[in-house]
């Protein structure tokens, strides 16, 4: 209970169109995490999120919600190697892409040099081809899932945006993120 008469509650992100899309993208990244685990299990070859990278694109729908594409995965699981996955932007376009989610078996949720460059280049390209999307693309994230036994769910998701300093860890996404109603 807030008793301070001068307290002003923070604005509801669901009330602002751009903030709503970003809020829904965070929720979609959290919702997509179990799909990465399921994809690994479905391969029946010993693949897990600790030995192979999995990836999904996020996209906006006409109703303002954000969905995710079917997860894809990196090359075959080989003892001592971690096959990475390359984003093909399959299932999304410059008009609806809202970021992506992939895992890092290493446990480091920072973007690699190549991932950072690809992400920034993609943001620039989509901003150029769809200038009306610039306000939301400024906040789109490359989400990275890392396994973490200390987390209640056993993993954490971090959002790396254009504003995340290079080679720094983006903020953790609320693990209970829910889309706007």
- Dump pLDDT digits (tens) for 93-105: 999 999 999 999 9
The model's pLDDT over 163-177, given as tens digits with 9 standing for 90+, comes to 999 999 999 999 999
End-to-end CA distance of the chain: 24
The model's pLDDT over 8-55, given as tens digits with 9 standing for 90+, comes to 878 899 999 999 999 999 999 999 999 999 999 999 988 899 888 999
The model's pLDDT over 53-96, given as tens digits with 9 standing for 90+, comes to 999 999 999 998 999 999 988 866 566 665 667 777 888 999 99
User: What are the E-state strand segments in 24-154?
Assistant: 54-60, 66-68, 72-73, 97-103, 141-147
Rounded to the nearest 5°, which phi and psi values hold at 29? -60, -45
Q: What is the pLDDT of residue 35?
A: 97
The model's pLDDT over 112-128, given as tens digits with 9 standing for 90+, comes to 998 999 999 999 999 99
């Amino acid at each position: 209970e807030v008793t301070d008469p001068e307290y002003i509650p923070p604005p509801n992100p669901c009330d602002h169109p751009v903030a709503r899309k970003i809020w829904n993208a965070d929720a979609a990244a959290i919702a997509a995490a179990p799909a990465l685990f399921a994809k690994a299990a479905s391969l029946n070859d010993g693949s897990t999120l600790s030995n192979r990278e999995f990836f999904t694109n996020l996209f906006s729908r006409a109703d303002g919600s954000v969905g995710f594409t079917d997860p894809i995965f990196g090359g075959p699981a080989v003892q001592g190697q971690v096959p990475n996955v390359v984003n093909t932007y399959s299932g999304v376009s410059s008009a609806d892409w809202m970021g992506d989610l992939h895992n890092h078996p290493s446990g480091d949720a920072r973007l690699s040099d190549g991932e950072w460059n690809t992400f920034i280049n993609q943001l620039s390209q989509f901003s150029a081809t769809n200038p009306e999307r610039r306000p939301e693309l400024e906040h789109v994230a490359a989400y990275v899932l890392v396994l973490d036994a200390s987390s209640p769910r056993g993993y954490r998701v971090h959002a790396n945006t254009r504003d995340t300093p290079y080679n720094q860890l983006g903020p953790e996404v609320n693990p209970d993120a829910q889309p706007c109603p």
